[in-house]
Amino acid sequence: MTQTTSQQTWPRPSRHICWLMAALAVAGLAASDALPFLYTNARAPINWTQPQLDDWKVEVQPRSVVPHVELKYHANRTSTETADSDEEFLERLRALRQNHSSARMLWYDAAAGDGLTYPPFVDKALKLFNLKQVAFEIENSVLSKVSCTACKAGAGLLQHYIKSGKTDAELMKMIAQYCTNLSIQSPRVCEGVAQLFGSEVIYVLQRVNLGPDELCSFIIGDGCGDVYNPYHEWEVIFPPVPKPPRLPELPVPLEAAPFFKVLHISDTHYDPHYVEGANADCNEPLCCRLSSGRPASPNAAAGKWGDYRKCDTPKRTVDNMLAHIADTHKDIDYILWTGDLPPHDVWNQTKQENLEIIKETVKQMTEKFPGVPIFPALGNHESAPVNSFPPPYVNQVDISINWLYDELDVQWRRWLPQSVSHTVRRGAFYSVLVRPGFRIISLNMNYCNNKNWWLLLNSTDPATELQWFIYELQSAEFSNEKVHVIGHIPPGHSDCLKVWSRNFYKIISRYESTITAQFYGHTHFDEFEMFYDPHDLTHSNSIAYIGPSVSPYYDLNPGYRIYYVDGDHDTTTRLVIDHESWIMNLKEANLYGYPIWYKLYTARAAYNMKALRPSDWNKLLNDLTDNQELFEIYYKNYWKNSPARPTCDAECKKRMLCDCKSGRSHDRRHFCADVESKIDEGSSKSWKSWFYRGLTNSYSLITSITYLPKYLLGYG
């Protein structure tokens, strides 16, 4: 169903794999006999063997064609809430203090006041690779040539040891030892990462014939160059049906028309082992557990309702949020649930523990919202190890993903029709006709996840998901249905494979008259993502709503979204009419002992938007670029009004607005040049204004001191 082309694609890094690569990079320097192969240009001839794909046919699968949701009657509900409903919170919001903090690292240097010391034998490696910089970049998911060099050295060394005949056990032991000796992580985290991720990485590297350049370009993405690799280039095939002519401008939904009230919950990251008072300032990827050790001071103790540091959501906070939603929003028509249920303890997770968390949270949602349809999407943390989602052709019992997809089919069947079972068990994606003329399609975005190492074997439309997606959209177009798309990883995020994202972008453009909204999570921030006609960037054709996380991980307040969607009537657009974000101030909850959930903002009122069509969001993006005051409002909402949010300079502003404009991953230069130039121009003007204002103020101050000799002022 797909065809290959000759272009290139590369995403960005898996944090825990990069830890392994960083350790191996230094190992390469410690073993002098290993150095020559690390930088050799000699390459073995590529003998690519494509994995045997199955013969699954999209067009013969059953489809959901009967409306699945029966709407309930909600008395006295004729429109969204009034525009002045935010006023009761305004005074308290103004009073919230902005306590700025800098980014934190997991590795600390004692000499520099941050606690980290390296073994003496790696001094040379530190000078060459600057592991502290690598550690910082991995932790903050901003990878440069420093991390790229370390990745290539580590990948080369690992491939060398694989070819030399070392066993999997020997390789994983070596990885754990170097990780520990270099203080990249704590011994137990190093051991867990080596055991969980090492076997998978070794399995894949034994079956691909790619050099360190190709591997690290695939893993890290643009930060490691666009290295040509013809084996990860492919194109989906569209049916020979002309694209319907687009409207000059989408109509604005009628204000007084019926609507759906929709709850969006994402990234719960429920931690069953969260303990109030535990160490919240530990030196591991997840804290606030008994195993995190005793807090060094009262300020380092985990709060009752959660913590701004590297801690996930305690059960009492999840329970309180769901009870608040059920009590405050009694008229919810359906729920979008976009994944990431387990916590961030990625070094010691098991399949059974993750399944138990899925079962427990599904049971909790069912009890809190009886009779309310829920449409789930799969996150990247549901698998064990995290990000590991083998495509269907990887069907060995010990490494197949069937253990997860089969259980998801059982759990999701509480809300979904039986007709979706075949696609859920195949790839955790599905399509449901919600109401006459209105369909929801849930995608498994882990098949675009560049941290999913299984895609190195073959990234060509895993599980035939995108080709199936086209078939569903074409059928919807024939039936005059409008479609909402839900998933976890936003397609424009740097965690999404470039080639997958590029194909997805084409699909959105082709079916822009059918797809009226997209909904994702994953980033934990409150934001959005734009899509444009690939051949006309002045035409915005779709909007992706990226919902806030429930988890405060990290430096965030817990939050959720409410959408108002154009409902059942003769002229319905199925567009989002408006949306509002609700949060709980974690600092106040821990201080006063009880959380208060409140509406942070309503989109149209906060940003002065006429409607929420793609063109309206594009206008907002331009306004955010030009209007610093408006951008500061957006920045506050992006961070869910967290008192721990850092300051945002011009580079920060460029990154954020470029994220908004880039619905296609790893292509920022194509989308962001105008935004960046405007911000640079404004920043330059602001700097000059500040400079001259400073000179004027200094001169006024000096001249006001009357007793200074005149020659000091240039008069003598």
For 525-573, write each residue's pLDDT tens digit: 999 999 999 999 999 999 999 999 999 999 999 999 999 999 999 999 9
Please work out, in degrees rounded to the nearest 5, the angle formed at the alpha carbon of residue 290 by the alpha carbons of 287 and 291. Answer: 70
- Determine the average pLDDT of the residues in 28-37: 43
- What are the angstrom distances between the C-alpha of 180 and each of 77, 158, 191, 192, 476? 60, 17, 8, 11, 54
488 a known binding residue? Answer: yes
Q: Does 484 show up as a binding residue in the annotation?
A: no
Which of 78-82, 180-184, 198-202, 606-610 has maximum average pLDDT?
A: 606-610
Task: Give rounded-to-5 percent helix, strand, coil for the chain.
Answer: 45, 15, 45
Residues 463-492 have a mean pLDDT of 97
Residue ranges of the chain assigned to CATH 3.60.21.10: 259-274+312-644+656-666
Predicted local confidence at residue 111, as pLDDT: 42
Q: Is 380 labelled as part of a ligand binding site?
A: yes
Residue 126 has a pLDDT of: 46
Task: Tokens 């009967």: give the residue.
Answer: 66
Give mean pLDDT, residues 427-452.
96
Residue 25 is predicted with a pLDDT of: 55
Q: Are 565 and 576 a contacting pair, CB within 8 Å?
A: yes
Q: What is the pLDDT of residue 228?
A: 78
Encode pLDDT of 310-366 as tens digits: 999 999 999 999 999 999 999 999 999 999 999 999 999 999 999 999 999 999 999
Question: In the numeric block, which tokens belong to residue 698?
Answer: 């200094």
Range 301-309 average pLDDT: 97
pLDDT of residue 39: 37
Q: Is the peptide bond before 385 cis (omega within 30 degrees of 0)?
A: yes
The answer to whether the annotation marks 269 as part of a ligand binding site is yes
* CB proximity list for 353: less than 8 A, separation 6 or greater: 342, 384
Mean pLDDT across 601-630: 97
441 touches 462 (CB < 8 A): no
- The residues, ordered by sequence, that sit 6+ positions from 451 with a Cβ below 8 Å of its Cβ are 13, 14, 15, 17, 219, 380, 386, 387, 495
Sort 238 into a burial class: Cβ within 10 Å, 0-12 / 13-18 / 19+.
Answer: middle
* 422 annotated ligand-binding residue: no
| Weakest mean pLDDT among 131-135, 167-171, 414-418, 695-699 | 695-699
Report, as an integer, the average pLDDT of 381-409.
93
* The predicted structure's pLDDT at residue 56: 81
pLDDT of residue 694: 53
Which CATH number describes the domain made up of 259-274+312-644+656-666?
3.60.21.10
Pairing of strands 576-584, 374-376: unpaired
Res 74: pLDDT: 77
Percent of the chain with pLDDT over 70: 78
Top-confidence residue, 211 or 489: 489
Average pLDDT, the chain: 83
Mean local confidence (pLDDT), 680-686: 71
Phi and psi at residue 661, to the nearest 5°: -85, -15
Q: Would you mind telling me the total number of residues written for the chain in this entry? A: 716
Q: Confirm whether residue 608 is marked as ligand binding.
A: no
pLDDT at position 295: 96
Q: Report the pLDDT value the prediction gives residue 135, as an integer from 0 to 100.
A: 54
In this prediction, residues 274-303 reach a mean pLDDT of 95
Of the given ranges (3-17, 425-439, 661-675), which has the lowest mean pLDDT? Answer: 3-17
487-504 exposure pattern, b = at least 16 Cβ within 10 A, e = fewer: bbbbbbbbbbbbbbbbbb
Alpha carbons 623 and 618: distance in angstroms, whole number: 9
The residue assigned the tokens 């954020």 is 656
Closest by Cα among 317, 340, 213 to 268: 340
pLDDT, residue 34, reads 41
Q: Percent of the chain having pLDDT more than 90?
A: 59
pLDDT of residue 87: 52
Looking at residue 604, what is its pLDDT?
98
522 marked ligand binding residue:
yes
